[in-house]
Amino acid sequence: MKYNHLGRAGIKVSEISLGSFITFGKQLDLKQSKHIMQLAFDKGVNFFDNAEVYAKGEAEVVMGKILKSLPRNKVVVSTKIFFGGDGPNDQGTSRKHLLEGTKNSLRRLDLEYVDLLYCHRFDPETPIEETVRAMDYLVRGGYALYWGTSEWTAKQLKEAIKVAKELNCIPPTVEQPEYNLFHRDRVERELVDLCEKDGIGLTTFSPLAHGVLSGKYHKGIPKNSRLGREEWLKPENLNEQVKKAKKFAEIASKIGCLPSQLAIAYCLKNPNVSSVIIGASTEKQLIENLNSIEVKSLITKEIMDKIYKI
């Protein structure tokens, strides 16, 4: 396992990390989640991602129980605040929700602090100055070591950095965008300057496009699959994506790897990506995904050109 700096920050994260979206507290019970997370840790994964909204907080509860058996100084734990509930102050990045949401997440995780704390989305109803001051307070107060954003545009992130400098506040360190072969523009074009000039690290999610690039939907949507369980994740152009995924699978077969491994390896090849967040519901799936590290060297310019042609 390779460990990368989070942009220009001193902290290092494993190039492949494990997320808890849909799996922890929902698809997997505590025993199953612990097996997957412990195995990932044993294989070199040190970064584990969560959010207050995952399984309505239960994912944090499950991960918190598992973390009791892992050395705290050996892991990097993150959570994300925005979607906290249905009340008038339970969503967004107001000072009130960021502080209360973070404290609630820490209580569920049973931790004194998280390493990374994200604003899960941009909040157009809250002044950016308020959000930046609140995140600065949380970092200076020891609730988090670094803060960042998730699914913010480059323009929104640049404004946050600008405001942080003007207010003498701690600026964001990391952005967590979706990144896969169907969603490339944000990472490969829009955020490049922020990574190179401002030192922003990227912890990307959904490298398999919710499983489409793994080939599991070539013959329809299995009931126990991610799209089978979460209808809202289904893209409008699924049929078109599946056609491309079939061609992509042919490339993977020719170089002797699984399409899922090639898809993850593609994301790992991007020098601005600090860590690729994967999900796994079985030991077999986890091991296969972690072995994507070995596929990076197989992606030659010729292979890349074939992928881009699709």
Residue 231 is predicted with a pLDDT of 72
CB atoms within 10 A of CB 97: 25
Q: Are 19 and 279 spatial neighbours (Cβ–Cβ below 8 Å)?
A: yes
β-pairing, 47-49 vs 174-176, is unpaired
Q: Are 83 and 52 spatial neighbours (Cβ–Cβ below 8 Å)?
A: yes
> How many domains does the chain fold into?
1
CA distances from 224 to 4, 88, 182, 211, 298 (A): 34, 34, 23, 12, 31
pLDDT in tens, 128-166: 999 999 999 999 999 999 999 999 999 999 999 999 999
- One-letter amino acid at 87 equals G
To the nearest whole number, what is the mean pLDDT of the chain? 96
Average pLDDT of the residues in 234-262: 94
State the Cα–Cα distance between residues 115 and 109, nearest whole angstrom: 12
State the Cα–Cα distance between residues 78 and 72, nearest whole angstrom: 13
pLDDT level of residue 292 (50, 70, 90 thresholds): very high
State the Cα–Cα distance between residues 179 and 203, nearest whole angstrom: 9
In a domain, 306, yes or no: no
Average pLDDT of the residues in 178-202: 98
Residue 97 is predicted with a pLDDT of 98
In a domain, 295, yes or no: no
The CATH number for 24's domain is 3.20.20.100
Residue 229 is predicted with a pLDDT of 65
Print the domain residue range for 195. Answer: 3-210+270-281
Q: Which active-site residues does the annotation give?
A: 54
In this predicted structure, the answer to whether residue 44 has a pLDDT above a threshold of 90 is yes
In a domain, 288, yes or no: no
pLDDT in tens, 58-110: 999 999 999 999 999 999 999 999 999 999 999 999 999 999 999 999 999 99
State the Cα–Cα distance between residues 176 and 209, nearest whole angstrom: 15
In a domain, 48, yes or no: yes
Residue 235 is predicted with a pLDDT of 81
Task: Tell the burial category of 75 from Cβ atoms under 10 Å away from its Cβ (0-12, 13-18, 19+).
Answer: middle
CA distances from 261 to 1, 40, 308 (A): 15, 16, 17
DSSP state of 114: E
In a domain, 162, yes or no: yes
In a domain, 26, yes or no: yes
pLDDT in tens, 207-242: 999 999 999 888 777 776 777 667 777 788 899 999
In a domain, 243, yes or no: no
Take residue 112 and report the two structure tokens written for it. Answer: 């004194």
In a domain, 291, yes or no: no
Average pLDDT of the residues in 235-253: 94
Give the distance from CA 275 to its chain's centroid: 8
Residue 237 is predicted with a pLDDT of 84
